[in-house]
Amino acid sequence: MFHAGKLLSIRKNSGNLPKSEEIQCEPPRPGLGAGQPAGDAQLHWRDQEHKKFADQFDAHMKVLVRFTEEADQYVPYLIRKAAHIEDYLQS
């Protein structure tokens, strides 16, 4: 069960968390850890993974762009519809 005291504690301690711009991500260093590919094989693997990521990222961005374009067109319709509903309820 979640208590209000826990929520207050979470809110109080959330100020201690680093901001997203303060977090730095470093790529893994070659040669650290067992079973890592070496040399050209590692670069080839990274190139494949980077291409896969870039392709997925582009696909997701296309979806988001389409969503925002559709939302920009649909929101005025919803606002007009809400105004009609408010007028109906007030009459």
pLDDT of residue 77: 92
Residues whose CB falls within 8 Å of the CB of residue 30, separated by 6 or more in sequence, listed in order: 36, 38, 42
**pTM greater than 0.85 (yes/no):** no
pLDDT of residue 42: 74
pLDDT tens for each residue of 19-76: 545 555 555 555 545 455 566 777 777 888 899 999 999 999 999 999 999 999 999 9
pLDDT of residue 2: 45
Per-position DSSP letters for 15-50, written without gaps between them: TTSPPGGG----PPPTT-STT---HHHHHHHHHHHH
Map out the domains of the chain as residue ranges.
Answer: 60-91
